[in-house]
């Protein structure tokens, strides 16, 4: 029975306009809602809508849900920054690759904006009668999360320049929904421990990354790993919480979720995370005609992809275990790029380990990108600062001017307004307007340009 769970769950978990509604949809939806509510121990506070789509229509849904996030003006700086780090090929068409991979794998998606779940019937094949209910329960669990823990979804959808936190939130949210979904399969025993199933599911899903014939094996590695990460690893964490405390354990993760992907990839490392604000003045002095066109946090998932070929698994895991925080900025200087990447580690030894590993990759990264040259890594105590030749002269100013704050819990970071941002994102348009005003005031009062 475990094998059946794993195969069906793998199909469902690749998820997370329209066929005409069927006459019994309202009845079936009511039954599925009752099942999701019972399994997850949460109540629906408002109605949701169910719409059926095919693969082409699902792509349209994904584009609409992404909104301006897929516009070239936003995607191209992100692509170039990831290439400057060495995590993505510089000629990657990120929009095409994202839509190709996600639309090919998405069995369902819940839209918090429209309070609607879209289910891709064309992905179910011969297992339709077995997996339709669990897929719908998975997406309905997202509706329950949205209605009972709205701040978590708002942050996941609204955070900018915080990809590592966003991925960690996605792992929490998708793991919760997947563990709940496991209880929706026919014959599932509600008392069954789910960790063993979750670990087997993780292993089966990760095999797809190394299958050159799979969609994941053909996709850019960072995209493939980022898509699988929430389901493969988030489900294991959620299963542990479920086995320990049932729905109360799942609730606790949504109330105070992990602050970093490291805490999901390597749960034994869960501790304080250091968030970094790079000094705007030092970045502006990088050179005439240079502008900071993208900034973000790499985190453990990106680091794992970056070093998976150059380091043996044990050395790579040891490096990841030492990560405590980072922030990078990619600068556009005419035809050349510059990179600033301030990383924080548990010890000077960990910082030096990163410096040696990344230094070995730097010449190759520079050779395939418009970077001004191979990066140099400056180590000062627990900090390793990556700088390319055009900004090397600013290394001391960057190290002196960087502001670093440590947070032991997610709720502490949110209470500090999601530093280094000046206000956590909100879905409410009026509150968003207030946030933007506060950012402008902060920039005016402090002389620091808001990110």
The answer to whether residues 354 and 449 belong to one domain is no
Confidence at residue 102, expressed as pLDDT on a 0 to 100 scale: 83
Among 285, 266, 124, 110, which Cα is nearest to 180's?
Answer: 110
Instruction: Tell me, yes or no, whether 264 lies in a domain.
Output: no
Instruction: Tell me, yes or no, whether 100 lies in a domain.
Output: yes
The answer to whether residues 416 and 431 belong to one domain is no
| Whole-angstrom distance, CA of residue 212 vs CA of residue 166 | 28
What is the Cα Rg of the chain in Å?
22
| Whole-angstrom distance, CA of residue 242 vs CA of residue 193 | 8
Confidence at residue 338, expressed as pLDDT on a 0 to 100 scale: 96
Which tokens go with 367? 């050779």
The answer to whether residues 174 and 301 belong to one domain is no
28-33's contacts with Cβ under 8 Å and 24+ in sequence apart are 29/136, 32/133, 32/136, 32/137, 32/140, 33/140
Instruction: Tell me, yes or no, whether 263 lies in a domain.
Output: no
Instruction: Tell me, yes or no, whether 220 lies in a domain.
Output: yes
Among 175, 185, 187, 186, which Cα is nearest to 243's?
Answer: 175
Backbone angles phi, psi at 275, to 5 degrees: -100, 145
Among 234, 400, 413, 398, which Cα is nearest to 327's?
Answer: 398
Confidence at residue 162, expressed as pLDDT on a 0 to 100 scale: 96
The answer to whether residues 361 and 439 belong to one domain is no
Instruction: Tell me, yes or no, whether 268 lies in a domain.
Output: no
Query: What is the chain's pLDDT, residue by residue, as a tens digit (451 residues)?
Result: 333 333 333 334 444 433 334 546 888 999 999 999 999 999 999 999 999 888 888 888 888 888 777 888 888 999 999 999 999 999 999 989 988 888 877 888 999 888 999 988 776 555 555 688 899 999 999 999 999 999 998 898 889 899 999 999 999 999 999 999 999 986 677 777 899 999 999 999 999 999 999 899 999 999 999 999 999 999 999 999 999 999 999 999 999 999 999 999 999 988 999 999 999 888 888 766 789 999 999 999 999 999 999 999 999 999 999 999 999 999 999 899 999 999 999 999 999 999 999 999 999 999 999 999 999 999 999 999 999 999 999 999 999 999 999 999 999 999 999 999 888 987 654 444 433 433 333 333 333 343 3
The answer to whether residues 220 and 150 belong to one domain is yes
Report the alpha-carbon angle 292-298-300, nearest 5: 175
The answer to whether residues 158 and 304 belong to one domain is no
The answer to whether residues 233 and 344 belong to one domain is no
The answer to whether residues 92 and 152 belong to one domain is yes
Report CA-CA distances (Å) from 311 to 85, 354, 424.
Answer: 17, 11, 36
Residue 216 domain boundaries:
2-257
Last residue in a domain, options 202, 227, 257: 257
The answer to whether residues 57 and 172 belong to one domain is yes
Last residue in a domain, options 257, 283, 314: 257
Instruction: Tell me, yes or no, whether 262 lies in a domain.
Output: no
Confidence at residue 433, expressed as pLDDT on a 0 to 100 scale: 41
Instruction: Tell me, yes or no, whether 80 lies in a domain.
Output: yes
Which tokens go with 324? 């405590």
Q: In sequence order, what E strands does 44-191 have? A: 49-53, 108-111, 116-120
Last residue in a domain, options 209, 231, 257: 257
The answer to whether residues 375 and 410 belong to one domain is yes
Query: Domain total for the chain?
Result: 3
**Helix orientation angle between 128-148 and 150-158, rounded to the nearest 10 degrees:** 100
29-37's contacts with Cβ under 8 Å and 24+ in sequence apart are 29/136, 32/133, 32/136, 32/137, 32/140, 33/140, 35/133, 35/137, 35/184, 36/136, 36/137, 36/140, 36/141, 36/143, 36/144, 36/180, 36/184, 37/144
The answer to whether residues 11 and 155 belong to one domain is yes
The answer to whether residues 200 and 292 belong to one domain is no
Among 194, 246, 295, 292, which Cα is nearest to 39's?
Answer: 246
Q: What percent of the chain is helix, strand and coil (3-state, nearest 5)?
A: 60, 15, 25
Instruction: Tell me, yes or no, whether 266 lies in a domain.
Output: no
């Amino acid at each position: 029975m475990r094998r059946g769970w794993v195969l069906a769950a793998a199909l469902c978990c690749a998820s997370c306009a329209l066929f005409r509604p069927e006459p019994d949809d309202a009845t079936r939806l009511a039954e599925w809602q009752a099942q999701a509510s019972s399994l997850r121990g949460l109540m629906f506070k408002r109605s949701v809508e169910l719409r059926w789509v095919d693969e082409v229509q699902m792509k349209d849904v994904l584009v609409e849900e992404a909104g301006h996030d897929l516009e070239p003006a936003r995607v191209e700086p992100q692509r170039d920054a990831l290439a400057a780090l060495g995590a993505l090929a510089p000629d990657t068409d990120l929009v095409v690759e994202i839509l190709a991979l996600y639309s090919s794998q998405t069995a369902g998606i819940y839209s918090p904006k429209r309070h609607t779940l879209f289910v891709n019937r064309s992905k179910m094949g011969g297992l339709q009668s077995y997996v339709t209910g669990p897929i719908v329960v998975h997406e309905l669990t997202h509706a329950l999360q949205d209605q009972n823990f709205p701040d978590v979804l708002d942050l996941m959808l609204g955070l900018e320049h915080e990809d590592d936190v966003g991925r960690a939130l996605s792992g929490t949210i998708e793991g919760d929904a997947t563990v709940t979904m496991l209880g929706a399969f026919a014959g599932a025993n509600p008392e069954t421990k789910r960790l063993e199933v979750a670990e087997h599911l993780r292993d089966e899903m990760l095999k797809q990354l190394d299958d050159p014939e799979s969609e994941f094996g053909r996709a850019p590695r960072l995209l493939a790993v980022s898509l699988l990460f929430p389901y493969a690893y988030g489900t294991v964490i959620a299963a542990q919480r479920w086995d320990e405390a049932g729905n109360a354990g799942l609730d606790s993760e949504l109330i105070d979720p992990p602050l970093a992907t490291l805490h999901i990839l390597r749960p034994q490392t869960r501790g304080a995370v250091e968030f970094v604000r790079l000094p705007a003045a030092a970045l502006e002095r990088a050179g005439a005609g240079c502008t900071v066109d993208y900034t973000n946090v790499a985190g453990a998932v990106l680091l794992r992809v970056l070093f998976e070929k150059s380091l043996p698994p044990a050395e790579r895991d040891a490096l990841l275990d030492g990560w405590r925080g980072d922030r990078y900025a990619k600068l556009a200087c005419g035809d050349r790029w510059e990179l600033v990447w301030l990383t924080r580690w548990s010890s000077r030894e960990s910082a030096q380990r990163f410096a040696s590993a990344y230094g070995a990759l730097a010449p190759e990264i520079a050779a395939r990108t418009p970077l001004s040259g191979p990066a140099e890594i400056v180590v000062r105590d627990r900090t390793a600062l990556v700088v390319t030749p055009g900004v090397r002269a600013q290394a001391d100013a960057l190290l002196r001017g960087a502001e670093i704050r440590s947070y032991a819990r997610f709720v502490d970071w949110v209470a500090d307004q999601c530093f280094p941002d000046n206000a956590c994102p909100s879905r409410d348009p009026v509150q968003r307007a207030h946030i933007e005003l506060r950012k402008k005031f902060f920039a005016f009062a402090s002389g620091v340009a808001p990110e």
